[in-house]
Amino acid sequence: MGKLVIVSNRLPITVRLVDGRPVLQPSVGGLATGLAPFHQSQNSVWVGWPGVDLEEVRDAEAIQQELREHRCYPVFLSRREFVNYYQGFSNNTLWPLFHYFVQYTIYRNDYWQAYKKVNQAFCETVLKIAEETDTIWVHDYHLLLLPKLLRDRLPEANIGFFLHIPFPSSEVFRLLPWREEILEGMLGADLIGFHTYDYARHFLTSVRRLLGYDQFFTGKLVISVRDRVVRVDVFPMGIDFDRFASMAAKPEVQSAMREIRARVGDRRVILSVDRLDYTKGLIERLDAYDLFLERYPEYREKVVLIIKVVESRTGIKQYEQIKRTLDEAVGRINRKYGTISWTPILYLGQFLPETDLVALYALADVALITPLRDGMNLIAKEFLATKTEGRGVLILSELAGAANELREALIVNPNNREQIAEAIKTALTMPEEEQKERNRVMRKRLQRYNVVRWAEDFLEGLATIKKLQKMLATKHLTREIKARFLSSYRQSQRRLLLLDYDGTLVPFSLSPAQAVPDPELMEILERLTQEKKNEVVIVSGRKREVLETWFGHLGVGLVAEHGAWIKERWKDWQTIEPLDDSWKEEIRRVLELYVERTPGSFVEEKTFSLVWHYRRVDREFGEVRVGELKETLLQLTGNLNLEILEGDKLIEVRPVGISKGRAVGQWLLKEKWDLILAVGDDRTDEDMFAVLPEESYTVKVGIGPSRARFRVFSPWEVRGLLKEMAQ
């Protein structure tokens, strides 16, 4: 086992220049704080930006040496690079878009170019310290391109990626001009992790709709990406639970609690802790508190809202605007309800040491955490960890990732100020026993799945997908097997090459009409056909007219409509047997009804079959419709001597007895072949594999069970093999 290489935008150690001399201090907040304890306990190194501009650094080597003592490796960036990459693309493009604030999203090519350049700089730093046996764990939206950059340079490395913010719906994500590059960058990882299933589902939908990669369930959900499989899974991030729980009892925390209590008196404390950000719902939260005080005047002078806001980003106009609006809202509410002896809101804008923050958690009666959109929200978990006596109520936005785990909290819509106001009232009147029971369940869950368990779970998942990749590789058409095949190919005198088309020679398209053969494919087929030792047969589900138009001039054999029509080299088309199509009218009416009910689907009519295509339909919706349609068709076809074939994003109804296996039997009887190669990707090709001699080279494209002896992962691998044969 090699070392663990953690890669994130920031290091857990920040460099500050004091009188020109570097001073190292722990980074505060976010991933650096959350993952630092795990890093300290592992054989790991950490790569990230050190917090200082390259122009300000006098002795980079000295800083590197100091950071190495903490197992940290810096990526130095110029001021301009950092501004365009971090404030620009990361926080003016990706951050608002991924949080559904489309109106704040800025699309600038100079931001994008800086983002690519910085991701490449991170790649070069990682390559200096990482080896093939290491595990590389890349974090968050700042480095979405890095997994593929690393994969291109370290093809066999174990690479994981975790996104700590939401992944938006495909309708929102597709607004990004560089959407395909972003997805391809993430898919360089072996395992991609998200906080919630919703985020994972949105990512999978975007991959399917924008890139067209197939997805399979093999115990875990995986995506077939060219010659690899990539796993996508959910890992809700935890906290260092025991540390927060134990801190609540420390003397310095108890002292801080007494100071706060002296300030607020015997009033009930409602706590709001957040970073200054338009995604956090701070203004909506204050409006709800205003409504609470208006509706329930009996609580005036008996409660106080302590709002702690961390200003972590500067230079972004939306943050400056929200700061002004927040200040105005606090002032307005305090003027509206405040008295000489009572200030409704205590607004803390200054930095708080961790002991004071934990004191606020432990003292608070209610935590009011209502972001408009949040990847996880660890503050909610930290608040619960400090509740060692069980008292305290968490009010949590349903749009925070943590809401999926913390269902015993009071879950609210952050845009519904009436609901939040009522939740405050419910929290303040909740019986102590109910508070303790709710918190007991949540605390137990958080203690069990803490940050260390989260990290271990992710790395175990990464190890699992690497095992699956190796298992598939044992059947994969490896370099050695390919070399043996090419040797046999060169020595053989008569070769039969049986090639499926869609998904085998070309990737799938949203519309079958778009998947036309390109010049490279035509050149490969022409060269293979000109070799007199070869008999090339295209075995497809396409109509005979289409195959004739595309390939008729090449002198290849053709099988159309999954075996209904056969055309030997330079001969005429013939049916495999006389077939009846009188059944079509009744079935067509059913299929057209499902087209009307399923936008994006369509019916294709072939000579002896009808096909309902749903590749352009949303996956979940399509699967629902497929189940309904199959049930309906089974009832209709029971006495019609028809069969229902489920293919890749299609349902085909055809007479019983038609199959690719039966069709290729005509070539098997024709003569004795020294070598047979058969390549296909779906259920119809299994019929072809089944009738071939055991020594044939049968190859499945993609993952999933198959009769084939070998597999490849994409049409591009098939092309590569055929190219070598043609040469």
User: For 100-110, what is each residue's pLDDT tens digit?
Assistant: 999 999 999 99
Listed residues 631, 655, 679: the one ending a domain: 655
In this structure, what token pair is assigned to residue 723?
Answer: 């190219």
Confidence of residue 215 (pLDDT cuts 50, 70, 90): confident
Q: What is the pLDDT of residues 8-31, one digit of tens each?
A: 999 999 988 887 788 888 887 778
Structure confidence at residue 1 (pLDDT): 63
Is 112 contained in some domain?
A: no
In this structure, what token pair is assigned to residue 64?
Answer: 């590197």
Structure confidence at residue 240 (pLDDT): 92
Confidence of residue 713 (pLDDT cuts 50, 70, 90): confident
CB neighbours of 88 closer than 8 A, spacing ≥ 6?
A: 106, 108, 110, 111, 114, 115
Structure confidence at residue 172 (pLDDT): 97
Give the residue from 326, 324, 345 showing the smallest Cα distance to 334: 345
Structural domain count, the chain: 4
CB neighbours of 635 closer than 8 A, spacing ≥ 6?
A: none
Using the predicted structure, report yes or no on whether residue 39 has a pLDDT greater than 90. no
Give yes or no: residues 609 and 706 share one domain.
no
Q: What is the pLDDT of residues 258-289, one digit of tens each?
A: 999 999 999 999 999 998 999 999 999 999 99
Give yes or no: residues 651 and 671 share one domain.
no
Is 44 contained in some domain?
A: yes
Share of the chain above pLDDT 90, in %: 73
Confidence of residue 657 (pLDDT cuts 50, 70, 90): confident
Give yes or no: residues 426 and 386 share one domain.
yes
Confidence of residue 58 (pLDDT cuts 50, 70, 90): confident
Q: Mean pLDDT over residues 424-436, rounded?
A: 97
Q: Mean pLDDT over residues 443-456, rounded?
A: 94
Q: Mean pLDDT over residues 188-203, rounded?
A: 96
Is 161 contained in some domain?
A: yes
Where in the sequence numbering do the catalytic residues fall?
500
Structure confidence at residue 297 (pLDDT): 97
Q: Return the percent helix, strand and coil in the chain, to nearest 5.
A: 50, 20, 30
Structure confidence at residue 468 (pLDDT): 86
Give the residue from 504, 489, 492, 514 showing the smallest Cα distance to 540: 504
Determine contact, residues 70/47, Cβ cutoff 8 Å.
Answer: no
Structure confidence at residue 616 (pLDDT): 83
Cα distance between residue 701 and residue 499, in whole Å? 11
Using the predicted structure, report yes or no on whether residue 486 has a pLDDT greater than 90. yes
Number of H helices, E strands in the chain: 26, 29
Give yes or no: residues 631 and 665 share one domain.
no
Give yes or no: residues 266 and 406 share one domain.
yes
Q: What is the pLDDT of residues 165-180, one digit of tens each?
A: 999 999 999 999 999 9
Structure confidence at residue 465 (pLDDT): 93
Using the predicted structure, report yes or no on whether residue 328 has a pLDDT greater than 80. yes
Is 454 contained in some domain?
A: no
CB neighbours of 560 closer than 8 A, spacing ≥ 6?
A: 540, 541, 542, 543, 544, 546, 547, 566, 567, 573, 606
Structure confidence at residue 303 (pLDDT): 98
Listed residues 212, 234, 256: the one ending a domain: 234
Using the predicted structure, report yes or no on whether residue 313 has a pLDDT greater than 70. no
Using the predicted structure, report yes or no on whether residue 73 has a pLDDT greater than 80. yes
Give yes or no: residues 413 and 498 share one domain.
no
Which residue type is seen at 501? Y
Is 393 contained in some domain?
A: yes
Cα distance between residue 235 and residue 453, in whole Å? 10
User: What is the extent of the structural domain holding 625?
Assistant: 584-655
Give the residue from 84, 73, 31, 116 showing the smallest Cα distance to 315: 84
Q: Mean pLDDT over residues 348-370, rounded?
A: 92
Total-model pTM = 0.80
Q: Mean pLDDT over residues 384-388, rounded?
A: 96
Structure confidence at residue 27 (pLDDT): 83
Structure confidence at residue 312 (pLDDT): 67
Q: What is the pLDDT of residues 625-641, one digit of tens each?
A: 988 998 899 888 877 88
Using the predicted structure, report yes or no on whether residue 413 has a pLDDT greater than 80. yes
Structure confidence at residue 250 (pLDDT): 95
Give the residue from 321, 331, 417 showing the smallest Cα distance to 368: 417
Confidence of residue 36 (pLDDT cuts 50, 70, 90): confident
Structure confidence at residue 552 (pLDDT): 93
Give yes or no: residues 292 and 155 share one domain.
no
Give yes or no: residues 66 and 173 share one domain.
yes
In this structure, what token pair is assigned to residue 573?
Answer: 């088309």
Using the predicted structure, report yes or no on whether residue 534 has a pLDDT greater than 70. yes
Is 467 contained in some domain?
A: no
Is 448 contained in some domain?
A: no
Is 143 contained in some domain?
A: yes
Structure confidence at residue 218 (pLDDT): 66
CATH assignment at residue 642: 3.30.70.1020
Q: Mean pLDDT over residues 579-586, rounded?
A: 85
The highest-confidence range among 204-218, 383-397, 609-623, by mean pLDDT, is 383-397
Q: What is the pLDDT of residues 115-160, one digit of tens each?
A: 999 999 999 999 999 998 999 999 999 999 999 999 999 999 999 9
Confidence of residue 207 (pLDDT cuts 50, 70, 90): very high
Structure confidence at residue 499 (pLDDT): 97
Give yes or no: residues 311 and 392 share one domain.
yes
Structure confidence at residue 16 (pLDDT): 86
Mean of the per-residue pLDDT values for the chain? 92
Structure confidence at residue 544 (pLDDT): 93
Q: What is the pLDDT of residues 331-349, one digit of tens each?
A: 999 999 999 999 999 999 7
In this structure, what token pair is assigned to residue 295?
Answer: 């509706």
Give yes or no: residues 427 and 496 share one domain.
no
